[in-house]
């Protein structure tokens, strides 16, 4: 299913001297955008770029192409009792980076997402009070990580406040591929119209173009998306977004983090940080814990059930 250009996420948010750009790197889909030629069909070969190494990297210096970032994190031994996720690997992708605002040149660099070109990364949005999406997404990711590790999972973050900027959306996808993770989620807060509220989950459209081929992940990502939508809604009570998507779900073909993923992956826009009510909730640590619980529950269901 292809949707046309999303209506949100291009709103710039002025925050003092900063300008924060909306998350999801929305805007027109690849139609009409230059699509670089590629002679390499199929999924991209995971490569760690020289400007960025995976968080759990064990070596410094030269990049190690195709080295799974999970290598340093030895798999948990099978422990059926109380550890339903033992042996499973989950990648959490905290959207944006608190340092992006100081590295606009780097993050504005155009990268190849298969069916077009997009900025390497964006700054993300923020509440009126100045709570940034980057801080929100990292905090919630930490909470998800703690919950999933308690269930035995190996949990890897694409960035953990340990990169000066980014990583680029292409590298965020490559990270999960290189880890051969069972599933991934990119955690965001939206920068929609202030009158709109609610959360939504973004699933990958089928994209076969250049470096992108989501054929193998669309179905499992859809299943993951439904589980995240239902669980997040149940645990947080947050309504489905009333300004985008359909019943809390959207499908997009213009997000590099999805286009280039070789593992089941979705995005969640946990709420609209430009909306006063959502902003209030997202600023509350107790609500963020529920948000994390809802997402962690969805991964548990995804990895322990079928169909
Ligand atoms: Zn975002």
Fold of 2-9+81-304: Aminopeptidase (3.40.630)
Residue 298 CB contacts under 8 Å (≥ 6 apart), including other chains: 224, 227, 228, 230, 231, 232
In eight-state DSSP terms, residue 199 is: B
Give residue 74 CA to ligand 1 midpoint distance, Å.
31
Distance of CA 191 to the CA centre of its chain: 15
Give residue 75 CA to ligand 1 midpoint distance, Å.
30
pLDDT for 192 equals: 98
Identify the three-state secondary structure at position 60: coil
pLDDT for 21 equals: 58
Give residue 124 CA to ligand 1 midpoint distance, Å.
5
DSSP assignments along 73-117, one per residue = SPPPPP-TTT-TTTT-EEEEEE-S-GGGGG-HHHHTSEEE-SSSE
Q: Give the pLDDT of the chain (307 residues) as one tens digit per residue.
A: 333 333 333 333 334 334 565 554 333 333 333 333 333 333 333 343 333 444 443 333 333 333 444 444 455 455 556 799 999 999 999 999 999 999 999 999 999 999 999 999 999 999 999 999 999 999 999 999 999 999 999 999 999 999 999 999 999 999 999 999 999 999 999 999 999 999 999 999 999 999 999 999 999 999 999 999 999 999 999 999 999 999 999 999 999 999 999 999 999 999 999 999 999 999 999 999 999 999 999 999 999 998 6
Provide the sign of the torsion angle of the four alpha carbons 207, 244, 147, 55, taken in this order: positive
* Tokens 């709103």 sit on residue: 11
Token representation of residue 36? 């670089």
Token representation of residue 94? 């905290």
Q: How far does the chain reach from its first CA to its final CA, in angstroms?
A: 20
Give residue 69 CA to ligand 1 midpoint distance, Å.
23
Give residue 84 CA to ligand 1 midpoint distance, Å.
30
**Nearest to residue 282, comparing CAs of 192, 155, 168?**
192
Task: Give the active site residues.
Answer: 269
Q: Kindly report whether the peptide bond that precedes residue 261 is cis, defined as omega within 30 degrees of 0.
A: no
Q: Is the pTM of this model over 0.75?
A: yes
Give residue 22 CA to ligand 1 midpoint distance, Å.
7
In eight-state DSSP terms, residue 239 is: P
Distance of CA 1 to the CA centre of its chain: 20
Give residue 26 CA to ligand 1 midpoint distance, Å.
9
Give residue 83 CA to ligand 1 midpoint distance, Å.
31
pLDDT for 306 equals: 84
Give residue 24 CA to ligand 1 midpoint distance, Å.
5
Helix, strand, coil percentages (3-state) for the chain, rounded to 5, are 30, 20, 50
Token representation of residue 121? 């990364």
- Helices 133-150 and 285-304 cross at an angle (nearest 10°) of 50
Give residue 187 CA to ligand 1 midpoint distance, Å.
7
What are the residues whose beta carbon lies below 5 Å from ligand 1 (ion)? 23, 95, 124, 188
């Amino acid at each position: 299913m292809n949707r046309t250009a999303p209506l949100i996420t291009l709103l710039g948010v002025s925050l003092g001297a900063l300008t924060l750009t909306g998350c999801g790197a929305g805007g027109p889909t690849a139609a009409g955008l230059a699509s670089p030629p590629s002679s390499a069909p199929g999924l991209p070969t995971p490569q760690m770029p020289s400007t960025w190494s995976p968080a759990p990297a064990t070596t410094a210096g030269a990049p190690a192409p195709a080295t799974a970032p999970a290598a340093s994190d030895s798999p948990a031994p099978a422990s059926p009792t109380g550890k339903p996720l033992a042996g499973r690997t989950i990648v959490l992708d905290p959207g944006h980076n608190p340092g992006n605002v100081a590295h606009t040149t780097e993050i504005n660099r155009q990268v190849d997402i298969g069916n077009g070109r997009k900025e390497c990364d964006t700054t993300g949005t923020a509440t009126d009070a100045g709570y940034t999406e980057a801080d929100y997404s990292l905090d919630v990711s930490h909470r998800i990580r703690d919950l999933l590790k308690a269930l035995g999972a190996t949990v890897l973050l694409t960035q953990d406040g340990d990169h000066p900027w980014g990583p680029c959306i292409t590298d965020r996808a490559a990270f999960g591929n290189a880890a051969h993770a069972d599933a991934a989620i990119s955690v965001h807060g939206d920068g929609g119209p202030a009158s709109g509220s609610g959360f939504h989950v973004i699933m990958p459209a089928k994209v076969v173009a250049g470096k992108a081929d989501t054929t193998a992940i669309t179905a499992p990502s859809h299943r993951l998306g439904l589980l995240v939508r239902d669980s997040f809604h149940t645990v947080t009570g947050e309504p489905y977004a009333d300004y985008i998507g359909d019943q809390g779900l959207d499908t997009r073909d213009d997000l590099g983090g999805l286009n280039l993923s070789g593992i089941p992956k979705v995005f969640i826009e946990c709420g609209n940080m430009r909306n006063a009510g959502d902003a209030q909730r997202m600023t509350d640590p107790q609500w963020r814990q529920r948000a994390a619980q809802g997402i962690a529950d969805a991964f548990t269901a995804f990895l322990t059930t079928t169909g």
